[in-house]
Amino acid sequence: MCLKPQHYEDILRDQPDIGWFEVHAENYLGAGGAPLHYLETIRERYPLSIHGVGLSIGSADGLDTNHLERVAKLVERFEPESFSEHLAWSTHDNHFYSDLLPVPYNQHTEDLVCNHIDQVQTRLRRPMLLENPANYLELNDTVTSESNFINNVVQRTGCGLLLDVNNVYVSARNCHYNALDYMKSLPLQSVGEIHLAGHAVDDSIPDEALLIDAHDRAVSTAVWKLYDQLIQLTGARPTLIEWDTNIPAWQVLLNEMVKADLLLNQPPARLAHATEN
């Protein structure tokens, strides 16, 4: 479950039967204050996953070593089960952008991303998970497929894969390819975590609706179906419900978690049969 300040008190009061919580690293890089106090208290009861949003793995300028050091100190302090970041960039010429921006898939970018992942893994002294992006367009400098790019990066660096199913669905719809075929072409043996989220639809241009990875609503029926297909291929994997804006009541998030648990706890025979097919 994605941990949000709106739910700190609910969690500490109810102590729900939840396997783990995930936090965004950049929300907890301060020296003290209420967020770190609550996180320490919740960490005493639950395992954590730390998800970075600001390392800018795909940046042409190189990693911000000061930011990496702060993230490393956070990881050392809370000892999460995993650390993850995005296949994207968000910094350039000392400017930070609020969006996770796409990278072209070519040899130069592959070398750049692999070098940055090696730096992160060396400093954290652990493998990281790399998250597949949500795509809204295709870049002219791209010369290979996204799945081929990710396979190469995973093989070269030894990192794992954070497979965001909503990102898969959004990208497939926006760029007109088959979502399930895309997932099957990824290094599924390296999936260490799965994300689920809701998406918005921008239909301002007739007949050219664009899906937006909004994280502001419940997971769609289509994404639940794709998730079901994924875990038939991979078996159960740690799964997170992301909901970052328009934060709902705690019970709403719990209801989403129950849906994921029902799919994760399918009979092994069904999973095995589906994998063979």
92, 59 in Cβ contact below 8 A? yes
Helix (H) or strand (E) holding 161: strand 160-164
Q: What is the bridge-based pairing of β-strands 82-86 and 89-92?
A: unpaired
Determine what percent of the chain is predicted with pLDDT higher than 70.
Answer: 94
Confidence bin at 271 (pLDDT 50/70/90)? very low
Query: pLDDT tens digit string along 111-152?
Result: 999 999 999 999 999 999 999 999 999 899 999 999 999 999
Asked if residue 104 has pLDDT above 70, the reply is: yes
Give the pLDDT confidence of 13-44 residue by residue, as tens digits: 999 999 999 999 999 999 899 999 999 999 99
Q: When comparing pLDDT for 124 and 96, which is higher?
A: 124
CB distance 110 to 139 below 8 Å: no
Q: pLDDT band for position 106 (50/70/90)?
A: very high
Q: What is the pLDDT of residue 101?
A: 87
- Quote the domain boundaries for residue 106: 5-276
Number of Cβ within a 10 Å radius of residue 120: 24
Q: What is the pLDDT of residue 97?
A: 66
Given a cut of 60, whether residue 274 has pLDDT beyond it is no
Per-residue pLDDT tens for 183-240? 999 999 999 999 999 999 998 887 788 999 999 999 999 999 999 999 999 999 999 9
pLDDT above 70: residue 269 = no
Cα–Cα distances (Å) from 37 to 27, 82, 275, in that order, read: 12, 21, 44
Residue 172: which of 130, 220, 217, 127 has the closest Cα?
Answer: 220
Q: How many domains are there within the chain?
A: 1
Whether residue 277 has pLDDT greater than 80: no
- The CATH number for 102's domain is 3.20.20.150
